[in-house]
Chain A
Amino acid sequence: MKSSKPYPYPPLARRLFGVWFRHTRVYTKNIFSNGLPPFLEPLLFLAGVGLGLGKYITQSMEGLTYIEFLGTGLIMTAAMFTASFECTFGTFIRMEFEKVYDGMLAAPITANNLIIGEIIWAGTKGFFFSFAVLCVLTCFGIITLPRGLLAPFVGFFTGMMFSVMALLVTSFVRTINHFNFYFSGFISPMFFFSGVVFPVSNLPAYVRPFAEVIPLTHSVRLTRAVCAGQYNWFLLLDMLYIIVFILVIGFFAVNRLKKRLVY
């Protein structure tokens, strides 16, 4: 029973869309509890700074008021945190506890398709979470439109960047508790040393190279440029960093995680 022509299984784009559609469907199922916090969190932060902390910080940072400086940074940390959670705890639960991936892999989807779909989904969440922060900042007049509208696209790539990192970590993890090390050892320091709460240029000279190595620094720099409308050629290097990071770490993440799904 040899069949000469290949069967019309869905093309790559449709397969990736299938994975993306599943995640979107699950996420939007509880639209209230999933969709509201991304708007509330930046509100809380801005309230804390605006009502309290802000009074003590009168110096401008990289030509921005402190609330502008911090606000534009928060657009990226929102994307970072959501993508990191999605592809550590989220992926691990889908893989080991709920066995959702086993169900999906019985359909015409390869393990590679599934993982790449996961990365695109994390990018989408990065986009949405950045957009939520942007909305809040716009409402308070901290950012003026339409310049800031490009920021969620940076959020998309930031989401992808942190998802490949998270997936790589997930491929090593045997128990869900191990993620605690990743968050307190890698993600939390990122918050402080990548120019979100204070400029990287204020770091001691020997720490500065470190800040250039970690991913969030580049996202934050791009977002500030986008929001302030101040572009320079060095931003191309930041973009290059992000793309190379996604491709290289993504390559290892896909190959390692695949072995957990097809063994």
Chain B
Amino acid sequence: MSPVAITVKNTSKCFGKVKAVTNLSFEVEADNCFGFLGPNGAGKTTMMKMLYGKCTIDNTDGASIDVFGYNPVKDELAIKYLSGVVPQENNLDEELDVISNLMVYSRFYALPRKAATSRIDYLLGFMELSDKRSSRIRELSGGMQRRLVIARALMNNPKLLILDEPTTGLDPQVRHLIWDKLRQLKRHGTTILLTTHYMEEAFALCDTILIMDKGAGILRGSPAELLTQNIEKHVLEITGSHSLETTADGAMLQKLRIDRTQETTRVYCDDDQLLRSLTGRLEGAHYFLRQSNLEDVFLKATGRALNEKQ
């Protein structure tokens, strides 16, 4: 097991009457990728902001955060110096071009000019932006802007990379490129913390996933553990309104878990033979038999209904 990079204990955060994070505890191992999953408003972003001092931490009993041995309240600068942050919203300096954006940022780390220039060349190459160095920010596509924000976060060769929805709204090519780069960084010893709404992203990158809902952590484990421990192996999706009760007999129904929305019925079961035999009785209905995935776990854990923050 790797040493622990981040320890969060009993941490809470309220904005007025709104509880964003409630009594959350978790640990992140060094050189690992740790992912937060959760509906909008679950407290993922707030939790990440508390790690680098962008959000204050509520002064509750036993609350503590430790990032590489530093406390965000007292050692904000040390943590920021060791970390790179990719926020949810691209906040590049639109008045400056690509190279100036990075140059200005290198000053915040007091990198000597020469070192900064070579670092910037390397980062532009790494994020495949070398031919965009003198472009204005507005001329860049969403994917390029995102890659530039990631390059900026890597300026000081961070030990910890914090990414808030790194690939939301990007096309598959860019997404896969970013995934590759993140894997590469992890291999070279960067601890990665990310939030995402894409289950396949969490599955592809994360060593550990924490599913959050309403400010609390509800499930934690590796992607494989989450699947084996929390959900049946197979699922039969039937579209259209279909009365399962008429097709399946009572003994069969006992072995199934049924999840209904208006247009779709999902039948979960560990035994795919059973589901297969069930499909034989579905005359004319559209159905799809598949292995269950992280999204099924997510929906089971956080519920299907929308909450007031979504």
Contact = CB atoms under 8 A, between A and B. Distances in A.
B200 interface: no
Given A18-B107, A21-B104, A110-B76, A262 B92 contact: no
Interface residues of A, number: 31
Contact of B96 (A26, A110, A263): A26
B82 A7 contact: yes
Given A7-B82, A98-B94, A25 B77 contact: no
A106 B54 contact: yes
Interface of B: 3-5, 15, 30, 52-56, 68-70, 75-78, 80-85, 87, 89, 91-96, 100, 103-105, 107-110, 152-153, 155
Contact of A14 (B30, B83, B93, B110): B110
B96 A25 contact: yes
A9 B86 CA distance: 20
Contact of A108 (B55, B80, B87): B80
Interface in A80-132: 98-100, 102-110
A3 B54 CA distance: 22
A108 B85 CA distance: 11
Contact of B56 (A14, A98, A262): A262
Contacts, number: 98
A104 B85 CA distance: 10
Contacts of A10: 108-110
A103 B93 CA distance: 9
A27 to B, nearest CB: 9
A106 B93 contact: no
Contacts of A108: 77-78, 80-81, 108-109
A262 B55 contact: yes
Contacts of B110: 10, 14, 18
A2 B91 contact: no
Contacts of A179: none
16 contacts: A3-B70, A7-B81, A9-B78, A10-B110, A18-B108, A21-B107, A98-B94, A102-B54, A102-B87, A106-B54, A106-B83, A106-B85, A107-B108, A107-B109, A108-B108, A262-B54
